[in-house]
Amino acid sequence: MNVYTQFESPLGLVTANANDDGLLGVWFESHKMELSDFGTQADDHPILKLTVLQLQEYFSGERREFSIPLAANGTEFQNKVWKALTTIPYGETWCYKDLAIAVGNPKASQAVGGANGKNPISIIVPCHRVIGKNGSLTGYAGGIDIKQALLELEARS
């Protein structure tokens, strides 16, 4: 059964959804979503409580790594890309080619960009750390302003 919770962050309202296997997604208000897609509200679900705690620690600069079970639904390739995203060190950025190399296919920059853009677990699977080759802030489902804020938060810590 899928469940969700919402909490206020320094970047606005955040929605997290999970099931008993793990975290399914973390969404900002700017994401196009419907709460009805996330199941029922369950603020006391253990994975959601852990997610809220660890995200609050992240926003306060106390946490750089997450220890939350993940259960995002994706293709084999998307899951490979999402796993590679979790290896980008806190406070660092990669370009899409770096990510393509990390998944073992240096010529797949566009494909990894597509998988990166479908990552449902914002922050914890840090797709915000992927930027354009020239250093530009490329698309982010939560909005470029949130991507910039996340990168600035990590640069300060």
Residues designated catalytic: 127
65, 97, 103, 122, 125 from 59: Cα distances, Å: 12, 28, 29, 13, 15
Which residues sit opposite 7 in a β-bridge? Answer: 14
Gap between the Cα atoms of 59 and 38, Å rounded:
24
Phi-psi bin for 61: left (phi > 0), alpha (psi -120 to 50), beta? left
Tokens 């990166």 map to which residue?
116
| Dist CA 20 CA 36 (whole Å) | 18
